Every structure is written in structure tokens, then in C-alpha cells.
């Protein structure tokens, strides 16, 4: 029972936070929001209450005495004119209600989209590696649609219903006080019952939304890796995973449906009691309280209009629950602290020479065992302009080191300094703008080749882009494409081969012309001929720059100024290629295996 209470309390907390974000963007347009409320109340007043009121007055006049034909216009003319004016004003309010609602939603959607994008783009790589990209996209879309649905429910249902309660009790209270008192008591019972059952449904909506997000993530993961699915013949396995996630959605939606139906049955029963009370008062109102026929019609019509709106309030609550449930997951993400944040007084990084000092660096991943350090009291000094190769077996900490240098994850202990400046105290954007990075897996957008090459320098000229492509040995294949530089690369560059994607990524680094260069297996996807040509370009690019080259293929780093061999997050060997091959160490063993020298022994 305690666990359930905690979950419910947590769900209510997230709901409050969701409403906080929604109210923030609404407050930016408080004038439009106030206008939307006013015209929604006007719509209810004129069409739902103005018409019955003036019609009741006509019925009272008719019931008093017969009106001669020549007196119809003088007697009823003002009331008919009032009816026409009431309908005209009601229709104007209706159209203004549509307009203000659209304006409010369009503006708020813009703000919410920007809020979600800024939050996701400024989160750490640790955050993103633990989540499905497809789920994040779906959660963003559902968060925005949650606001739209909540806004529509509020302006088109909740506001008119609240206005109806106010108008009904105000008008009938002055005409039939006894009936207004009974009706008011029944409405209080209805609202209390609806609210209590609403609280029971709320966590079920959050659960249903989470299940939907998991289903979206499973579908996205399978579709994204469809080639692996097909080549491994694992369609049935993926189908089972999808079915399991789909079953969770079915169960969650069924639980929500049952709770909503139970609430609907209870509230429908209360509405029957309200209408039964209205029928009794209408039948005996004239005899018991001397109520005029017009007021009887007005009383019954007002009550019926009110119960119709309350009858749909179950659907309104369901829509509100669904909207808040849809927004639940993104609200949790928006409330998550950023794992990597700029210091309050962070300054731009100023790279004068490019010297890198790594002092007593210790780092472990969140899912690692207690003593599982990716980097363990790691120390390294790289003088300005030196080209350093990082080698070692998989899991030795090479890529982790480059990630920390770029602050894709934050340092847990120790420090990294560039030209004496602690990178944890400088602006992240300025840090990364000074480091050219080419990862093992090329990072291409579904845009043109030109846009991908110029991504780090969008103001580059066409000649500079072509020169970078030429230096990366990419221009030759680009010119053979039908659209040349305007060729769309496809999602993650799927329209290009692995070597072509890598050369585009290298061209981007060449064009960026940063003082520090990090190459993480940058030539691993190239064939021997392309590797030789690109290596020449990289050698020219690395001149005069501080370079860190991560490589398993030792021929890539053999000509560098210095090679650092890593194992279990520590430096175990450090020297030039010639020095290390003369020693009977890890590097010499790796070199022998890759060159085949060990076969001659």
C-alpha cells in the first residue's frame, strides 16, 4: 500500500510540474488567455442562457392573455430583437473563441518546442546514451500535444461549465431559491465524486503514457537497426519484444479505461438524480411555488444544459488525464538536472598554444562496478603542437579520455587544463569550438553534403568547402554523384558508404581548422588506398596543432611524435614508435601482431 501511495504522490508532483511549465508559456500570452476565457464565458452566456431567458419571457406574455395580431410586434418586438442580438453576440463569441484558442496554442507550441529542444540538446551524452532517440522525439511531440489538448478542454469545456454553474445559480437563485439550493447541493456531490475518482485515474494515465513511450522506443530501435535485424534473421525476436511492449500498452490502457468507466457510471447516476429533481420541480413548481410557465421552462432548460455539460465532464476529465499523462515523461526529463553544466562564472576558452595537461583524472560510469574505473588516477602532459597517439586494447579508456576532454561527460576527480585553463570552468560551447573532432562513427545529418562539411563553419565559402573535400579525398566521389555537393546523405548518411561518410566527417574537421584535433579511429572505415590519401591530408592538417589520435590500427599512429599506451585507465607505456617497438611491452606485441612480424620469429 505504501508503494502505491508513493507512486501516486510522485504522479501528482509531476502533474504539478507539468502545469507549471504549461502555465509559464501561457503567462507569456496572458492577454490572449484572458480574452479566450472571456469569450468562452460570453459564448455560454449568450447562447446557453440568453436564449432560454428571453424565450421564457415570451412564454410568460403568451400565457397571461391572448395578444391580438396588431399587437404582436409592439408586444414581442423588443424580446425578438433581444433574441436576435443574443444569437449574434453568441456567434461572435464562438468565432473569437476559436481565434483566441488557435493563437494561444500556436504561440505556446513554439515556446514548448524550444524548451524541449534546448533541454535535450544541452543534456550530456550520458543522458542520451541511456535513452531511445525515437522515444525522446515522441515524448516531445506528446508534451506539446498535451498542452494543446489541455488548452482545448479548458477553454471549450471547463470554462463554459464553470460559467454555466455561475449563471444557473445566479439566475435561478433569484427566481426559485429552494430549487437553486437543492441543485447546488447535488452539484457539490457531483464535483466531489468526480474529483476523488479523477485522482485514482491520474497515475493510470501516466502509466499508459510511459507504456506508449516504451512501445515507441522499441519500434524506433528495431526500425533504426532493420539491417541488423534482417541480416541476423531476428524478425521473430524483434516481433516478440514489440509484442511484449504492446501488451504493456494494452494492459495500461485497459486499466485506465476501467477506472474511467467506473467514474462515468457514478457521475451519470448523480446526473439522473439531478434531472429527476428538475422534473419534479417543473411539474409542481406552479402549484407549490407559483412559478410562471416561462420560469419553469427556463429552470428546466438551464438545468438540462448544465447536466449536459456535466455529462460530458467525464470525457473532459479523461482528456485532461490523457493530456497530463502524455506530458508526464517529458516533464520528468525537463526536471532532470543537467549532468554537465557551465560554471556560473564560466568564461570563453582562449587557446593560445594548445598545451593539454591531465592531472590525476579518475572517472567511472554510472553502471560500472564499484571498483570499475574507466580512468584511474590518469596523468598526461601534451605540449602545444605535439601529435600524440592513444593506443591500447578495447576498454582501456581511450575514448573516455576524449569524451572528458570535450566535456561530453563531466570530470569526477582530477582536472584537465588547456593552456592552463581548467575546462570545467570554461564555457562548453567555446571549448568544443576549439577542438576538431572526428569520431569512429561518422556523424552526418540528413542534409546535403555541402551542409554536412560546412556544419562547423557555416560561413565558409564554396571554394573553402571544395578545398576541404579535396584534402579529405572526398571531392572525387562527390563530383561523380548526380547532385554533387547538393546530394542528400540520408539519415545518418546511409546513402553513402562507410568510407565516404568518414571522409565527409574528416572534411568537416579540416574546414573547422581548430587548434586542437581529436581523431577517434578516424580512418578505420577507409580502404587502404583511401586511408593512404587521407592520412597524407591528416598529416598536413596536424602540423602546428595539438593532436590526439585514438587508433587500434597502429600504422595510423606510427609516424606521430609520441605514442601513449593505455591499459585499465592508466598510462603503461609512453614514447615514440621506434622507442616502444624496441621494448618488449604491450605496444611491441600489438605491433608484431598487426604487421605479422611474430610469424618470422
Q: Which tens digits make up the pLDDT trace of 329-372?
A: 888 888 877 767 777 888 888 888 889 999 999 888 776 666 66
Structural domains in the chain, CATH included, are: 2-335 (1.20.1560.10), 356-557 (3.40.50.300), 574-601 (no CATH)
Share of the chain above pLDDT 90, in %: 14
Q: Count the alpha carbons within 13 Å of 222 in the hemisphere toward its beta carbon.
A: 19
Alpha-carbon distance of 313 to 317, in angstroms, equals 6
C-alpha cell, 491: 539519415
CB-count burial class (<10 Å; 0-12, 13-18, 19+) for 155: buried
Position with higher pLDDT, 5 vs 232: 232
- Report the pLDDT value the prediction gives residue 39, as an integer from 0 to 100: 93
Quick: pLDDT tens for 76-135.
788 888 888 989 998 999 999 999 999 999 999 999 999 988 888 777 666 776 676 767
- Of the listed ranges 177-191, 237-251, 357-371, 466-480, the least confidently predicted one is 357-371
Among 11-20, 60-69, 503-512, the least confident range: 60-69
pTM above 0.75, yes or no: no
∠ CA 364-366-369, rounded to 5°: 70
Average pLDDT over residues 149-170: 87
Residues 6 or more apart whose Cβ sits within 8 Å of residue 393: 567
pLDDT at 416: 92
Residue 409's contacts (CB-CB under 8 Å, 6 or more residues apart) are 124, 125, 126, 339, 340, 363, 400, 403
**What pLDDT score was predicted for residue 525?**
57
pLDDT tens-digit profile of 454-478?
Answer: 887 888 899 988 988 888 888 888 8
Task: Give the helix ranges, DSSP H, for 290-336.
Answer: 293-311, 313-335
Name which of 372, 420, 425 is nearest 397 in CA terms.
Answer: 372
- Rounded Cα distance between 64 and 294, Å, is 11
Q: 535-589, pLDDT tens digit by residue?
A: 776 776 787 889 999 888 888 888 889 999 998 888 899 999 999 988 888 888 8
CB 390 within 8 A of CB 401: yes
Name the nearest CA neighbour of 547 among 405, 411, 389, 401. Answer: 389
Tens digits of residue pLDDT in 32-50: 999 999 999 998 888 887 8
Amino acid at each position: 500500500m505504501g508503494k502505491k501511495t508513493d507512486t501516486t504522490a510522485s504522479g501528482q508532483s509531476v502533474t504539478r510540474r507539468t502545469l507549471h511549465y504549461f502555465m509559464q508559456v501561457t503567462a507569456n500570452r496572458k492577454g490572449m488567455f484572458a480574452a479566450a476565457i472571456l469569450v468562452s464565458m460570453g459564448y455560454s452566456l449568450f447562447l446557453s442562457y440568453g436564449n432560454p431567458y428571453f424565450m421564457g419571457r415570451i412564454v410568460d406574455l403568451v400565457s397571461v392573455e391572448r395578444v391580438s395580431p396588431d399587437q404582436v410586434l409592439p408586444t414581442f418586438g423588443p424580446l425578438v430583437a433581444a433574441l436576435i442580438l443574443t444569437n449574434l453576440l453568441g456567434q461572435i463569441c464562438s468565432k473569437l473563441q476559436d481565434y483566441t484558442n488557435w493563437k494561444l496554442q500556436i504561440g505556446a507550441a513554439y515556446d514548448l518546442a524550444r524548451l524541449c529542444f534546448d533541454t535535450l540538446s544541452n543534456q550530456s551524452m550520458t543522458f542520451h546514451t541511456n535513452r531511445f532517440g525515437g522515444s525522446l522525439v515522441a515524448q516531445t511531440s506528446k508534451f506539446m500535444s498535451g498542452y494543446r489538448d489541455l488548452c482545448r478542454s479548458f477553454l471549450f469545456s471547463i470554462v463554459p461549465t464553470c460559467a454555466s454553474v455561475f449563471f444557473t445559480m445566479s439566475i435561478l437563485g433569484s427566481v426559485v431559491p429552494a430549487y437553486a439550493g437543492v441543485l447546488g447541493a447535488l452539484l457539490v456531490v457531483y464535483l466531489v465524486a468526480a474529483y476523488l475518482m479523477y485522482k485514482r485515474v491520474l497515475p493510470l494515465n501516466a502509466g499508459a503514457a510511459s507504456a506508449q513511450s516504451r512501445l515507441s522506443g522499441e519500434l524506433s530501435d528495431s526500425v533504426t537497426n532493420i539491417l541488423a535485424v534482417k541480416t541476423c534473421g531476428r524478425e521473430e525476436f524483434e516481433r516478440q519484444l514489440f509484442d511484449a511492449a504492446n501488451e504493456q500498452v494494452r494492459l495500461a490502457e485497459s486499466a485506465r479505461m476501467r477506472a474511467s468507466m467506473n467514474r462515468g457510471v457514478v457521475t451519470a447516476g448523480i446526473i439522473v438524480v439531478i434531472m429527476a429533481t428538475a422534473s419534479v420541480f417543473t411539474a409542481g413548481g406552479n402549484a407549490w411555488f407559483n412559478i410562471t410557465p416561462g420560469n419553469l421552462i427556463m429552470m428546466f432548460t438551464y438545468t438540462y444544459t448544465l447536466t449536459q455539460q456535466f455529462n460530458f465532464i467525464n470525457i473532459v476529465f479523461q482528456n485532461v488525464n490523457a493530456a497530463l499523462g502524455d506530458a508526464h515523461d517529458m516533464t520528468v526529463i525537463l526536471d532532470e538536472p543537467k549532468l554537465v553544466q557551465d560554471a556560473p562564472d564560466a568564461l570563453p576558452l582562449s587557446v593560445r598554444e594548445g598545451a593539454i595537461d591531465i592531472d590525476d583524472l579518475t572517472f567511472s560510469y554510472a553502471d560500472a562496478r564499484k571498483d570499475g574505473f574507466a580512468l584511474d588516477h590518469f596523468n598526461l602532459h601534451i605540449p602545444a603542437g605535439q601529435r600524440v597517439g592513444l593506443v591500447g586494447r578495447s576498454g582501456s579508456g581511450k575514448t573516455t579520455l576524449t569524451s572528458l576532454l570535450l566535456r561530453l561527460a563531466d570530470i569526477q576527480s582530477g582536472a584537465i587544463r588547456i593552456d592552463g585553463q581548467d575546462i570545467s570552468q570554461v564555457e562548453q560551447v567555446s571549448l568544443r569550438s576549439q577542438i576538431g573532432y572526428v569520431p569512429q562513427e561518422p556523424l552526418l545529418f540528413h542534409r546535403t553534403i555541402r551542409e554536412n562539411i560546412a556544419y562547423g563553419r557555416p560561413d565558409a565559402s564554396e571554394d573553402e568547402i571544395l578545398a576541404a573535400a579535396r584534402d579529405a579525398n572526398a571531392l572525387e566521389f562527390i563530383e561523380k554523384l548526380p547532385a554533387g555537393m547538393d546530394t542528400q546523405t540520408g539519415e545518418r548518411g546511409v546513402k553513402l558508404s562507410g568510407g565516404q561518410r568518414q571522409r565527409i566527417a574528416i572534411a568537416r574537421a579540416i574546414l573547422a581548422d581548430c587548434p586542437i584535433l581529436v581523431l577517434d579511429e578516424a580512418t578505420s572505415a577507409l580502404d587502404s588506398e583511401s586511408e593512404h590519401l587521407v592520412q597524407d591530408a591528416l598529416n598536413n592538417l596536424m602540423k602546428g596543432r595539438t593532436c590526439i589520435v585514438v587508433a587500434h590500427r597502429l600504422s595510423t599512429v606510427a609516424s606521430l611524435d609520441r605514442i601513449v599506451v593505455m591499459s585499465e585507465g592508466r598510462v603503461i607505456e609512453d614514447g615514440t614508435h621506434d622507442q616502444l617497438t624496441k621494448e618488449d611491452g604491450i605496444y611491441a606485441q600489438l605491433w608484431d601482431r598487426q604487421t605479422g612480424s611474430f610469424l618470422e620469429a
